[in-house]
Structure 1
Amino acid sequence: MDFDGFYRDTSRRLLRYAYGLTGDPGEAQDLVQEAYARAWQRWRKVSAYEDPEAWLRLVVNRLSTDRWRRIGVRRARAAAEPPPAPVGPPSEDVVVLVRAMRELPEAHRRALALHYLLDRSIAEIATETGSSLGTVKSWLSRGRTALAAVLSSEEGVRRVH
């Protein structure tokens, strides 16, 4: 039997088998691809076996076992490290600012976030958004004006309560 015929006859079964071992369709495809690559490299020898498909299943088993071993090592390493320090809740100012930003048009909100939170220049924002420099400047100007209005009305609401 030639390799192409062998592949056509066995690939679906082997993929189902690998999926049963891993529970992950993407991982199963990777294992099967690697197993067939190894079979193709050794096809003269593998094709002479009484059951070449059994050899493929053995390769998939070993690759799957190696995968689980790597996952176990990563878990053990992660368990040995101290947990990250808890992150505190956002301050009241941050909550108010985010609430106010939600009131702005998306383009203004995006420009303000890129400029003030990520320190992007006007030219970088223009490139990222596919807009002109003048448009970005307009978004920033209008966004700051609208943000100031929303925040001042928020301040008035907080004073009343």
Structure 2
Amino acid sequence: MLRLLRKKKERSPVLDDMVSKQRRYESLVRALSTEIYRYAYWLSGDPTVADDLVQETFLRAWKALDSLKDDKAAKAWLITILRRENARRFERKQFDLTDIDDHPVADAQGTSLEQQVDNDLLRKQISELPEEYREPLVLQVQHGFNGEEIASIMGLNRNTVMTRLFRARNQLREKLEQSPARELNNG
């Protein structure tokens, strides 16, 4: 009888591992789902597709959670999964593309009209950059990744990423200096 009571009170290591994995996963989702959605929306330009991409990303993350050794690398890990999932979308089926300008994403509340105009102009100018320059710039500016992390996410050499970031900023600066909206704001 005493042996039965002892066994009942002992916790199963398998159950403990499952609970631990579930908690780790839930904290990962809570901490990063907004940023992952924002990037998915940027990639797809469609809120429904972005939702699907995020769901698939987190499903794959759940299945491979044991492979994430450093929780500090979780954001880059999820962005990499998301990029691969987005690529799979094009392998399976070609979707109609939509212009991201048709679906504005709400910014922080309380911004002035002038700031909103500047933000819209900046978004438009970034969207006109060639893809090879635009993606690393968005990963750096919007998601805060450094050159090494961007290189890992995009599967490129760090020097290539740094060159693309340099060129992206220069092209963006030139576009903004030539922008008619800038002349209106300064005049």
> What is the TM-score when the length of structure 1 is the normalising length?
0.42
> What is the TM-score when the length of structure 2 is the normalising length?
0.36
Larger Rg: 1
